[in-house]
Structure 1
């Protein structure tokens, strides 16, 4: 039986366990939804392989020094055993009683879910059905849900969907120029991802402006190994760069982003690629990695670019130049979705930490009245938020994202209802 729903008498010490389950990993965080303070976090990775390990960090109060431990794991070590190890650690720290729910990141909710939902058998069946739209992600998310239901039998489990924030997009934004029957019968349309991240940073920007989110018109650029740009009108997503899958849109770490669809036919018919090889090429061997022929890591490429003696210096610069241009072009194109624009947001690992990338993008957006203040830009790194525009330009904020806190907040809100 589930615990009672959240009540006004419950202590601020209550926490939500947030789970982000991949095919061979479990990322977790125990978060106080009111403050965003993470009591415990960690990652179990390389599951079911000899390299399986789990790293757990905990900081029970904001003033306490963070403690960390990494342990190799005996074989066979799967998701269920990773969560069993997590439960043991939570018990040893006397944290189990603080947990009021488990919030799961689920990548694809299709058109079925525009809000967080309490997980039951019907919800699990729908997530499984939607795996055809996210075959690498939804099955892994279900593994995490099933494992948590075994490990935390008495706790309500919530699903928070990456696609939910983008369900406010109008038809003109989400429909493709293909026969309408493909949408009506098979759900082929743009769905978008990174929704929790775009929602979080948009809320933070609203606070910086002293407005409610419903009054804000923004463009948000989530830049990491996966990248997406979203137009936000009156606080709602009205267009986004990622499509039916996370392959569409701007160039990314290993994904190509937008290409001429005819290239796929050319690769298969003229160059002898199999469909699986094309899939691997576009998802895992393209983007920054493919163009640079060096790495998908922006930091590695910036180091190579700035070292004239590096054998891949020119290629690294080319990859980063294409990357920044594609993002700037996407940002500029989304001005068509808005009638006013309050500002631009950079977030994600690259967006938050690469001052060079931000400068190159902003330099190509002068038509939208963006201009970078290099002093502010250099200091906005490693979680330091702020406006990096010059005084006479449109605001451009660097805002550290916190998707786990969104999941914790929305899980707690769902409980309170």
Structure 2
């Protein structure tokens, strides 16, 4: 059966889930943290509550991906990592360029890296992980899902700051929003729980985690959000 990898790369971390399709069954999940430090941690859960943890120096995100592929086979989670036929990568900043998810190719990877000026702690790491996956599994389909895409429907009156307009023209200084995939899901889930069509509702959605933001959702689209 085919498997898909869900990837969330941070500045010094890599979260992952391996999902068997089409049942959407999680067969493994884990985390690499403290990337770039001597005491990095690679941890994975799989099978029947089985766990594996490794503490060693993991200098780069490329090395983190290498360890992931090594242990998927060594632990018997997959016979061959070519069982993985797709991957989805969460990307923090899509700027004004990505209004929806995008299939990943070399051009998209470079664009994600270039958008690092808007998310310097995240986008470079996300681009590095995309490259690492593409090098090892060049034949698979990969998609980038952007936190900012949901908010590209905001009107200018809401996304522009009270600053000289030339700052936006020269530097693209504006509100881009965050946690878009979460707000998109929550709005639709709330409508479902209320038994209503999301297009008929005006909803305030809240994302509460290490970062927090709220969004005004009108008819299923983002019209304003609290995070720049």
TM-score, normalised with respect to structure 1: 0.51
> SS where residue 184 of structure 1 aligns?
helix
- Residues 29 and 140 of structure 1: CA distance in aligned 2, closer, same or farther (over 3 Å): same
SS of 1:105's equivalent in the other structure is: strand
Shift of 1:49: 1.5
Q: Which has the larger radius of gyration?
A: 1
SS in structure 2 at match of 1:87: helix
- Residue equivalent to 1:113: 98
Contact 2:58–2:64 (CA under 8 A) maintained in structure 1 = no
Distance (whole Å) between structure 2 residues aligned to residue 144 and residue 171 of structure 1: 33
Q: Do the aligned partners of residues 215 and 98 (structure 1) sit closer, same or farther apart at CA in structure 2, a change above 3 Å counting?
A: farther
On the 8 A contact 1:83/1:151 being kept in 2, the answer is no
- Between the aligned partners of 1:232 and 1:33, the Cα distance in structure 2 is 31
Are residue 47 (structure 1) and residue 35 (structure 2) matched?
yes
Residue 3 of structure 2 is matched in structure 1 by 15
CA distance, structure 1, for counterparts of residue 181 and residue 122 of structure 2: 16
1:153 aligns with 2:135: no
Tell me the residue number matched to 1:224.
209
Residue 15 of structure 2 contacts residue 30 of structure 2 at CA under 8 Å; is this kept in 1?
Answer: yes
Residue 84 of structure 1 corresponds to 66
Kept after mapping to 2: 8 A contact 1:216/1:233: yes
* Shift of residue 170, structure 1, vs aligned partner: 1.0
CA distance in 2, matches of 1:77, 1:174: 38
Q: Of the candidates 180, 201, 208, which is equivalent to residue 193 of structure 2? A: 208
SS of the aligned residue for 1:222 comes to strand
Q: Is the 8 A contact 1:22 1:141 kept in 2?
A: yes
Map Cα deviations across residues 82-125 of structure 1 (whole Å, 9 max, x no partner): 21221123332226354221111111000101111011222122
Deviation at 1:184, TM superposition (A): 2.2
Q: Tell me the CA shift for residue 235 of structure 1.
A: 0.7
Moved >4 Å (runs of 4+) = 32-36
Bigger strand share: 2
Helix, strand or coil at the partner of 2:111: helix
SS of the equivalent of 1:94 reads coil
SS at match of 1:200: helix
Q: How far apart, CA to CA, are the structure 1 residues paired with 2:166 and 2:117?
A: 17
Q: Which residue of 2 aligns with 1:241?
A: 226
> Shift in Å at residue 224 of structure 1?
1.7
Superposed displacement of residue 24, structure 1: 1.7
In structure 1, distance between residues paired with 2:4 and 2:196: 28
Q: Secondary structure at the match of 2:12?
A: coil
Distance 2:166 2:60 in 1: 41
Alignment CA distance shift 1:99-1:206 (3 Å): farther
Instruction: Establish whether residue 169 from structure 1 lines up as the match of residue 154 from structure 2.
Output: yes
CA RMSD of aligned residues (A): 1.9
Once the two structures are superposed, the pairs formed by residues 251-262 of structure 1 within 5 Å of their partners are none
The change in CA–CA distance for 1:67 and 1:107 in structure 2 (over 3 A counts) is: same
Count of residue pairs brought into register by the alignment? 225
Residue by residue over 1:377-406, the C-alpha shift from the partner in whole angstroms, topping out at 9 and shown as x without a partner, is xxxxxxxxxxxxxxxxxxxxxxxxxxxxxx
1:70 match: 53
Picking from 10, 14, 18, the partner of 1:30 is: 18
Structure 1 residues 53 and 128, CA gap change in structure 2 (3 angstroms): same
Compute the displacement of 1:76 (Å).
Answer: 5.3
**Cα distance in 2 between the residues matched to 1:112 and 1:33:** 30
1:57 pairs with one of 17, 42, 45 = 45
Q: Structure 1 residue 156: deviation in Å? A: 2.2
Higher helix share: 1
**Contact 1:21–1:143 at 8 Å: present in 2 too?**
no
- Deviation of 1:220 after TM superposition, in Å, equals 0.9
